[in-house]
Amino acid sequence: MTRLVVQHPQLTDLTVKVFEAAVGAPPQRRWSGGADWLEVDVDGEQVTTLAEIHRVDAEICPPADRLSDYGLLAFDMDLTLIDIECIDELAKMAGQGEAVARITEAAMRGEITSFADSLRARLALLAGTPAALLERVYHERLHLNPGAERLIELARAAGLRLLLVSGGFTFYTERLRERLGLDMAEANELVIENGRLTGEVHGPILDAEAKRAHLLAACSRLGIPPTAAIAIGDGANDLLMMGEAGVSVAYHAKPIVRSETTHAVSYCGLDAVLNFFVDTAPEPLTAG
């Protein structure tokens, strides 16, 4: 048996009926922003097609998977836990927005295949930038993605430890760690001299392989296997980390990332992840 979870911030009755007809059963539970069926032999390809047509999140989940069965929740930062790419916003404030964006676009086209090379090239353009702009980005541009605080609160209540691991900068991960009460945070530390960025970071750049290593190290410290970890990210740079986790969630990600993860959330907030687990899905508003 499997559990089909259909979600959208404005889920319509029409969409519910379409999925009801497709699986041949009415929803067992219905709540604001989601519908939940328990069904045998749900056709995953059909579910994916319907989700794309109706622009909703629809995921097939194990019928008895509990959040409390897991020990670690790991987040990427930029565009996953928060709604910006910090380096892009910093570049805009420094008057280098277009130049940095061109490098980002080249990396997305595959012309720059190394995340480390891409980050070095972007940071070089920011050499001499006043470090005070880091603070401005944090206070003026950075916001948590919807549902982040609720997901963190309930994950902590379920006994999970919380890891933030980013190819971004410790200036932001440390502030978020303190603000949200996260257990661990890993990122690149910018070199600052005389109040200005040098365009470099201390030590090796935290790339996809390093993200994977940090997740595995956190699991080792907690005494749990990687299969007891949940990892959430949005980019190709997160795939190695997410590939180690027992549950991986592509958050508002490109198709290539969605296709390689356990679940995807493309329309809802981060707290939609809670509905994948039977112990944190909300109580029904109506019974089927």
Respond yes or no: is residue 271 known to be catalytic. Answer: no
Of residues 58, 67, 63, the one with CA closest to residue 7: 58
> Is the distance from CB of 70 to CB of 109 less than 8 angstroms?
no
Instruction: Pick the catalytic residue from 36, 57, 78, 88.
Output: 78
Tokens 């932001």 belong to residue: 172
Four-CA torsion 167, 244, 83, 3, nearest 10 degrees: 180
Alpha-carbon span 219 to 221, nearest angstrom: 5
Instruction: Pick the catalytic residue from 36, 76, 234, 271.
Output: 76
Q: How far is residue 156 from each of residues 54, 73, 149, 220, 266, measured CA to CA in Å?
A: 33, 9, 11, 19, 24
Respond yes or no: is residue 279 known to be catalytic. Answer: no
Burial 26-48 (b: 16+ CB within 10 A, else e): ebebbbebbbbbbbeebeeeebb
Could you give the residue numbers annotated as active site?
76, 78
